[in-house]
Amino acid sequence: MSTDNLFLRASNLTKRYGVDGQDQHPVTVLTDVSIQIDSGQTVAITGASGSGKSTLLHLLAGLDGPDAGSVIIDGLSMFDLDEAQRCLVRNQKLGFIYQSHHLLKEFNALENVALPLRVAGLKISQAQTAAYSMLTSVGLADRAKHYPSQLSGGERQRVAIARALVHLPRYVLADEPTGNLDEVTADEVSDLLFELSNKHDIALVLVTHNRDLANRASRQLTLSNGLLTGSNGLLSS
């Protein structure tokens, strides 16, 4: 694939809720939103609670469908694919980090981090070797056999970062990744996230209420009243 096609681009996304006839007053969450994220970029999206930031991330990942608009990931139009094909794109090209770590409680740290590689078809030994290496990168090699209930909040979020990056995706989508952490731990997790994204040339799209965290990104955008303002990275037509 040509390197000219290597970007994540959303064009003219519109999303409404309550348009299925069950609600007489549908709500428009996003209106004609466009954004392009190129390889290795860091992009922060801020906005009030309920402004549609998480909805936008879900659309970028093809986890939800828009009422209008398109999402293209490395030349692939997500909403022209079937769900199995979208799952494959997500597994190969995307990593996710949430405010709540979303680790599987019945899996230890090593097994949680190895999960994306196992889904991709790697053998257990290969997946766990790569997972252990990534756990080492986030400073948790000695916690590999511990379960989420045995880890602190900061440790759980570092495991979540390791899981998001273990398959070296081209893009990581992070939804309030430090929102549940105290200030010191949040700073440590933020440092780690930016450091590893830069090391592996992974583009980072970060949704946050934290202005200091947003200011660390190379681009800052604001979502308000369904509109995304700031430099969206798209060339004018």
Total-model pTM: 0.89
Tell me whether residue 169 is in a domain: yes
Tell me whether residue 229 is in a domain: no
Closest among 156, 111, 153 to 132, alpha carbons compared: 111
Tell me whether residue 192 is in a domain: yes
What average pLDDT does the segment 149-155 reach? 94
Q: What is the CA radius of gyration of the chain?
A: 18
Assign 199 to helix, strand or coil: helix
Tell me whether residue 237 is in a domain: no
Residue 128 has pLDDT above 50, yes or no: yes
Alpha-helix runs per DSSP H in 107-152: 109-119, 124-137
Tell me whether residue 122 is in a domain: yes
Tell me whether residue 234 is in a domain: no
Tell me whether residue 232 is in a domain: no
We report the CATH number of the domain holding residue 179 as 3.40.50.300
Closest among 200, 202, 204, 220 to 42, alpha carbons compared: 204
pLDDT in tens, 71-108: 999 999 999 999 999 999 999 999 999 878 789 999 99
The domain total for the chain is 1
Structure tokens belonging to residue 68:
């209008």
Domain residues for the domain of 42 are 3-223
Tell me whether residue 117 is in a domain: yes
* Confidence bin at 4 (pLDDT 50/70/90): low
